Every structure is written in C-alpha cells, then in structure tokens.
Amino acid sequence: MQILSYVSFAIGFIFLIGSVVGVVRFADGYQKMQSVTIATSMSMFWFALGAALYCQSATFAVKAFLIYLFLLITSAVSSHMVVRASLEAGIPVLGKVNRFSEGGDEK
C-alpha cells in the first residue's frame, strides 16, 4: 500500500508542477487563475488519496476526502470571485474573447 501512496503523491506533485508551469507561461491573470484552480484541485485529490492509502484507516480516509471536497468547493468559488472582481475592475482580457459574452468581438 505504501508504494501506491507514493505513486499517488508523485501524481499530485506532477499536477502541482503543471500549475506552476501554467502560472509562468500564461499571459494574463485570468488564464493563470484557471491553471491554478484546475491543477490544484486535481493535485489535492491525489494527495488525499495518497494520505488515505498511507494511513490505511477508514476514518482518516473519510477526513482526507472531506478536506478535499472542502478545498474543491472553496477553490472554485474563490477563483470565480477573484476573476469576477477583476472583470468588474476593468482589467483587460488578453487573447481571444468569448463571442457569446457581452460585447464579444475578438481582439
């Protein structure tokens, strides 16, 4: 079981590295926020799974996945709030703009 937990931790670490690459490579804050939110949510799943496999306790596994669900919900909500506030503050979006949004001409 420890080998599976180490593999799970490694997969979670790879997702975190992908998040860092997204922050460095993407052009504007909106794209960076999307990269961080998705990659962090995936990495936290693998970390919770690895911790549950490592401890081999049902109560600890339930606690780890409840923490994961809390982080999943709060991460999505907080990133949505930050992006919404950025849009309302007038921070421009770089790259393609959704044609179906208000004033959606592509730049």
Residue 99 lies in a domain: no
Predicted local confidence at residue 71, as pLDDT: 92
Convert the pLDDT of each residue in 9-31 to its tens digit.
999 999 999 999 988 998 888 88
In this structure, is residue 23 part of a structural domain? yes
Percent with pLDDT over 90 in the chain: 48
Rounded to two decimals, the pTM is 0.77
Task: Report yes or no on 101 lying in a domain.
Answer: no
The whole domain housing 15 covers 2-89
Contacts 24+ apart (CB under 8 A), 15-20: 15/39, 15/40, 15/42, 15/43, 15/46, 16/40, 16/43, 19/43
* pLDDT band, residue 33 (cuts 50/70/90): confident
Q: Is residue 83 part of a domain?
A: yes
| Residue 36, pLDDT above cutoff 70 | yes
The answer to whether residue 107 sits within a structural domain is: no
- Tally of structural domains, the chain: 1
Per-residue pLDDT for 8 more than 90? yes
47 in a domain, yes or no? Answer: yes
Residue 61 lies in a domain: yes
Residue 97 falls within a domain, yes or no?
no
